[in-house]
Amino acid sequence: MLLKNLVKIRKQKGLTQRKLAEKSGVSHNTIIKMERGGIENPKIETAIKLAKALKVKIDDLV
């Protein structure tokens, strides 16, 4: 599950990668790797944390 809309939604919400990491509990390095395409299949738990932090549905991220 590639989170192809992660960068767009994060920026729309006015969050830096570091701020999203703090809000979601997902490591900053993991967020960097996902945004660069280095992690194409993140764990569902990670996607849930990011969606909650961004206040969107997981479907919106993919």
* Predicted confidence (pLDDT) per residue in 7-52, tens digit: 999 999 999 999 999 999 999 999 999 999 999 899 999 999 999 9
In terms of Cβ atoms closer than 10 Å to its own Cβ (0-12, 13-18, 19+), residue 34 is buried
Work out the pLDDT band at 1, boundaries 50, 70, 90.
low
Please give the pLDDT value at position 62.
Answer: 87
Please give the pLDDT value at position 53.
Answer: 98
Please give the pLDDT value at position 19.
Answer: 98
Q: Is residue 5 scored above 90 in pLDDT? A: yes
DSSP 1-62: ---TTHHHHHHHTT--HHHHHHHH---HHHHHHHHHTS-SS--HHHHHHHHHHHTS-HHHH-
Contacts of 11 (CB under 8 A, 6+ apart): none
CATH 1.10.260.40 fits 6-56, yes or no: yes
